[in-house]
Each structure stands twice: as C-alpha cells, then as structure tokens.
Structure 1
C-alpha cells in the first residue's frame, strides 16, 4: 500500500465504516528519514504532490496522545520499534507541526468521511451501538425488542388485511341465524 492510498470503506451495516491507512514502522531512524523526505518534497520542482508531508500531517491529526498510538498499533497502521507509545505520539506531534499538506491529498477519502460523519442516522446508530453493545444482556434486549416490534407489525398487517376464509362464512351464518 502506498502513501497515496488512504481509503474510506463503509461496512455492510450502514452506520459503521473503516479508514485504511498505509502502515509505517517507527524506529530510531524514522524522524530523520521523514524530515529529509519532507525537505526533499519542499525543495523539488514537483512540490505540489507532497505525499509524505500530507501523510505525516494526516497521522499528526490522528495522534495526540499515547492512546491514539495504541489504537493505530492495534489497527496495524503503526509498528512501534521506537520504545514507548508516548515517544511515538511526541514524534508525530513535533514533525507534524507547521506542515502544509497538499490540499488535494486524500480529498476523496476526506469527503466520504465528512459525508458519513454528517449523516445523523449514522451518528445515532453508532451512539446506540457504543452505549449498549458492550453489555451483552442489553444488546440481547435490543435485539428482542426489535424482533417483537417487527412481529407485532406483521401480526397487525395480517389481522387487518387477511384474506377471506371458510371461518368468515361460518361466523356470518351464526350471526344471521342466532342473533349474535
């Protein structure tokens, strides 16, 4: 996967999505290497591309604290050979400061993320998921309630719009002859 390949993928349940980022190994040589690549991009005639700068700026926007580094390590985006997660967070916060990324870099992924974020249905469903699915009995209660509502709707539909049957004629006969 190249630095230019940042993708936003919706899952089959609409309110959930993933962002795929190119992986990076962080070790003792990472900081000087990234600074040299950024300097090369700024000095080259083709500086408008600035993919390394844009990628570092993207990672800096995702990383503020050591918990963010843990999340990215767990997702397979970062491999930490530097030491502590706090050092990795500090590295990206230092390098990413005052960088000007390519405004067109990752524009499609950014647009899809913003569109997904602004959808109020996605937000509400995601909040429900995060609030109730970590408690297994609450999740089962939600599934049961949704099933009960669905089955009640089906029952109501067939009660109101049921086809005529043999019992309907028997009921009419009894009402007419026995004054029920």
Structure 2
C-alpha cells in the first residue's frame, strides 16, 4: 500500500518549527542592545517622548521626510571627518563592512530589508555625524567649529535629546571602529568616554550623573539569570512582579508613603549631597534624597532610559525605573512638591507644582519593578516600619501642634513656670504644718 504523502499544511508546520528551533539555538537576544519601545510603554505615554524630532540615527526611522532634512549635516560631518583623518572614504566603508554582521546583531528588530551597502553607508554616515558632535560639543575646545556641522547652535539641544531616544541608536562598537580609523589605529579614548563628556551630570539634572557607580553584570548573564529564575519557579517569580502604574483597577504595593504622610509620622526629609539622583538613604527617621532638577527634557530622557532598562536589564537592576516608581509614590499632590522644593530636593521649570505631579504620574505608568527586591524595597520597609511606631506619630503631632508656633511655645513655657510656681507655693505652705506635726 502506497504511503500517504504529508499534506502541504503539515510540511509548512514542520518548516515553521525548524525555523523556530534554529532561532532559539542561535539565541540572538543575547546580542541585542538597541530595542524597540515595548508597546506597553508606548501606549501608556505620549508617543512624542519616544519619537525623534530632529535627527534620525540608525535604521528604525530612516524614511521620515522631516528627519531627512538633517542628512545634509551628516554629509558635512563625514566630509570633515575625512579631512581631519586624511583617510579615503573606502577605508571607512571597508572597516564597517568587516563588522557588519556583529553590528546588525545589536538590533532587536529585523533589519534584513537593508542591503549591505545601505546598512554600511548608514553606519558610517550616522557614526561620523555623532563623533563630530562629540568633538564639537560646547564642553570641548572645538566648540567654535560646531557651526561647520550644525549652522544653528540652538538646534544642538534638540539633537542631543534625540540621541538619548531608545530607538535612535547605533552600536558603540561602530563608533569605536570609526575612532580607530580617525586616530590611525591608535585611539587614546573610547566612544563611551566622549559620550559621557556630553551627556553626564549637568545635561539632565544639573548636578547628578545618569550612571551606575557600582559594577553592572554583563547583559548576557542578566538575560540568562532571568530565564534561569523563570524556568525554576515561574509561578512564584511571576507573582513577585508588580506594576506600579496608576491604573486604579490594578492592585499594587505602596513602596513608600507620600510626603505629607511621612511628615505626620515624624519622618524628616533632607537634601542629600550625592552625584547620583537615585542615591536615597534613610536613617533614624531622616529620609535623604538628592536634588532633582526637572525641565522639559527630563520626561523624555528618563522615560527612554527606563525603557532601555525594561528591555535590557534584570528588573532588580533597573535603577531609574525604581527611582521613578519611588518618586511617584512620594509625590501625590502640589503640597508634596512644594515641601520638597522648599528643602531643595525637587526643583523645576514647569508651569506649576501640579505639572510635576502629573509628569511623575505619567512616567511611572506601566513601569514594571520587583516590589520585593527592587532598589528601594528595603528602604521602603524601613520607612514604613518607622511610620507605624506610635511614639513617632505622637512626637510628630506634639511638635507640629504645639511647637510649630512661637506663641504656643511661649504659652507652654509660661504655663510650665506658672505650674512650677504653684507647686513651689504649695510646698512652702504645707511644709510648716508637716514639720510641726507630732
């Protein structure tokens, strides 16, 4: 009897299964460093915070007509790079072609629609543009040459904001390779050093750094550890995940009471001197928070950095995400903002304090963090434990109700002396009778 041939549908399923197995075996996610914003985050925010407005970098937004107007400046930057390095264009193209496969692997989204020539041209053009901006930034001695690349100096702020967009990136390895050519294979600095010179400290917060000081795990090991944990105990691990979004239908653990509740419980808030705005400490009833300067660029910058953490890091390592959730729990009203402003903790250039509350409410929406082991979990437990102690609440009420007004203090002091005099008079009155008693 002749064997029945497999149906076309069955053959197609087998092919799909084989493709999936090959994909899983290659583990392409281990090389990803440039991501698309997760739909969960994009739908929770105004889309503008994730979309470039001035310049397109990389393959995710190459067809936007408005962004293509900046291409002229990219070609100017390339011309200046060739002039400074004394190298021909083909040297740059050949160098990037040799690392094309590794560079493509950095992108989460499939970019196979770009031919090899198109991809290499994009990497060289965008890379040289970024490096020229780094060299001609206002912090460097070549700042006066900025007009040779960007004729309008006011445009630089818009470009810098675009360069922190999650989807507007190229691999750092491309920039490092271009730097090697520019310096004749003897680089005395890396692309990351140039980037930090431009984007560190004052650019966002005026005083703090965006960087982790403690050593970070390798992204590959972070992905592996996440999956290993998930495979071992999925039900328990999933239940530990909380979204601190403001959807009223979603239950979530309150990380820390708001400012006014902390005051009522006797917690004092002070500005902390630190070079990291998330370096928050609590000790003996004092919550110390570094100063944060909020301006128009703060919201998109923090959201894109948090989106990168959500895509690239273990949730427990997401410092900015944890910080946003913490601050949203802390600030619930304009009165909370006003108090922090008076103590130098939150300063802003927004319209009023209500806008700060609304901004934090928006940026914390749909942020996922591990409620039991995020950066501030232990701190939050300590603060909540302190707030639950009755003696702290009584002391706070006493200080607030009786020692917050100088006239009340004077009245209490006068009453104390009056009581003391009364007791003294009573003692002197009774004492002779006591001594004369048989």
Q: Normalising by the residue count of structure 1, what TM-score does the alignment of the two structures yield?
A: 0.70
Stretches of 4+ aligned residues off by more than 4 angstroms: 143-149
- Residue of structure 1 equivalent to 2:295: 27
Runs of 5+ in structure 2 lacking a partner? 1-273, 428-434
Check conservation: 2:279, 2:290, Cα contact below 8 A: yes
- Residue of structure 2 equivalent to 1:134: 404
- Residue of structure 1 equivalent to 2:283: 9
- Residue of structure 2 equivalent to 1:109: 379
Picking from 18, 22, 43, the partner of 2:286 is 18
Picking from 282, 304, 310, the partner of 1:42 is 310
Q: 3-state DSSP class of the match of 2:283?
A: strand
- Residue of structure 2 equivalent to 1:61: 329
Equivalent residues, number = 154
Give deviations 1:38-81, integer Å, cap 9, x for gaps.
11001104443111011111111122222221111112121202
Q: 3-state DSSP class of the match of 1:59?
A: helix
The answer as to 2:348 corresponding to 1:74 is no
Give deviations 1:73-95, integer Å, cap 9, x for gaps.
11212120233222221111111
For residues 45 and 128 of structure 1, the distance between their equivalents in structure 2, rounded to whole angstroms, comes to: 46
Q: 3-state DSSP class of the match of 2:282?
A: strand
Q: 3-state DSSP class of the match of 1:98?
A: coil
Q: Which has the higher contact order (CA 8 A, sep 6+)?
A: 1
Give deviations 1:138-179, integer Å, cap 9, x for gaps.
223445666867xx7xxx9xxxxxxxxxxxxxx9xxx9xxxx
For residues 5 and 30 of structure 1, the distance between their equivalents in structure 2, rounded to whole angstroms, comes to: 18
Q: Normalising by the residue count of structure 2, what TM-score does the alignment of the two structures yield?
A: 0.31
Q: 1:144 to 1:126 in 2, by over 3 A?
A: farther
Write out aligned runs for 1:80-91 (5 A).
Answer: 80-91=348-359
Q: 1:45 to 1:68 in 2, by over 3 A?
A: closer
Q: 1:145 to 1:120 in 2, by over 3 A?
A: farther
Check conservation: 2:289, 2:345, Cα contact below 8 A: yes
Write out aligned runs for 1:155-170 (5 A).
Answer: none
Q: 3-state DSSP class of the match of 2:369?
A: coil
Q: 1:8 to 1:142 in 2, by over 3 A?
A: farther
59-68 or 25-34: bigger deviation: 59-68
